[in-house]
Amino acid sequence: MEYKINYGILLLASLAFISASVVQRQLDEESLHRDSRAAGCRIADGRTIAEGDNFTRLDTGPCVNYACKSGQVLPLDYGCYRDGRCYPLQDVYKLGCIERTCKLFNGRFDYAITREACTGQDQNTCIDVGTTVKDGCITYSCDKEQLAANSVSYHLRLAGVGCEYKGACVAENKTVVQGCRTMTCRKQYNAVGFFTTSNGCDINGKCVGVGETVQENCRTFACTEENLNGLKVLNIKPVKIQCKDADNVCHEGGEWFPLLADDKIRVNCTCHVFGLDIQLSCPDIGFNSHFGGGSP
């Protein structure tokens, strides 16, 4: 018996076998890949995390936790690292008057400045940057100064001054008058207050400046200023004491002049000066009158 080989059928059978083998190999590779994914997660830093394990990543910090589930990386919880431990989102802490809040910042969870302020004069209050506050008659402003790329300074600046007077604030460079003294509100020698700009003596209700004189009833007085143990003290000193005649003309002691006495004009009268006192005499009627000059 003679057998004939049909090479066409054999070729078709061989091709079918090869094709089935390739498909099976692809299926085996996909199955192996699925098994590999199910067995863990490969992350960006090269680590392979086992299925079900929790882990952290260097690029997001130690306080962001992930889990590997079914080959997928899933975030669990977020936080910020501070003082050796993790704090939750929106945690706030203060350093002086600067507040920082845990939030997503520059692509990672970290503390970002959420309030910038200066410490007040009382050391207990905070004044926000760019705002002003009054302490009595003094106005302060909180300023922020960029010293370098990563260096910032916050300082309280004196923005306006005033002086309190009788329950009200007097603006800088404004004056008030108290008796015969004029005072100006100003900042001087790191202090704010009233500084005397002119002073004087009250002589019978009239203000006489330091170094000036005034004459009343033939008596001349000067307003002087002396330094007494570091304090400036005003004094009223007599400069000249004279006698007044019947026509209100002033005369030096020893001069002769008419005088009104006993409602009559007397002639040949004279006077003598004793300190602030004067003594008048008119020989024609033979009397001596003593008139006390006293203080002005």
Distance in angstroms (rounded) separating the CA atoms of residues 63 and 52: 19
pLDDT at residue 35, as a whole number: 44
pLDDT band at 263 (very low <50, low <70, confident <90, very high): confident
Contact 170, 185 (CB under 8 A): yes
Q: What distance in Å separates the CA atoms of residue 174 and residue 184, rounded to the nearest whole number? A: 6
- This prediction has a pTM of 0.52
Tokens 């009104």 sit on residue: 260
In this predicted structure, what is the pLDDT of residue 286?
52
Given a cut of 90, whether residue 183 has pLDDT beyond it is yes
Q: What is the structure's pLDDT at 39?
A: 67
Report d(CA 247, CA 264) in Å as an integer.
Answer: 13
For residue 11, name the pLDDT band (cuts at 50, 70, 90): very low
Which residue from 100, 234, 230 is spatially nearest to 221, judged by alpha carbons?
234
Strands 108-115 and 117-119: unpaired
| pLDDT above 80: residue 22 | no
Nearest to 173 by CA among 158, 164, 161, 191: 161
In percent, the amount of the chain with pLDDT more than 90 equals: 44
Q: What is the pLDDT of residues 220-247, one digit of tens each?
A: 999 999 888 888 899 999 999 999 998 9
* Structure confidence at residue 290 as a pLDDT band (50, 70, 90): very low
Contacting residues for 271 by C-beta, under 8 A, at least 6 apart:
243, 251, 253, 254, 255, 278, 279, 280, 281
Question: Chain centroid to CA 168: how far?
Answer: 21
**What does the alpha-carbon distance between residue 63 and residue 81 come to, in Å, rounded to a whole number?**
6
| pLDDT digits 0-9 by tens, 40-74 | 898 888 899 999 999 988 878 889 999 999 889 99
The confidence score (pLDDT) of residue 38 equals 52
Dist. CA 196–CA 184, nearest whole Å: 6
Beta strand residue intervals within 179-230, DSSP E: 181-188, 191-198, 200-203, 206-209, 213-216, 219-228
> Do 265 and 258 touch, CB atoms closer than 8 A?
yes
In tens, the pLDDT along 129-158 reads: 999 998 889 999 999 998 888 888 999 998
Q: What's residue 16's pLDDT? A: 35
Asked if 125 contacts 94 with a C-beta cutoff of 8 angstroms, the reply is no
Task: Supply the mean pLDDT for the chain.
Answer: 81
pLDDT at 19 over 50: no
Running DSSP on this structure, what letter comes out for residue 172? T
Domain limits, the chain: 42-115, 117-160, 162-197, 199-241, 242-296
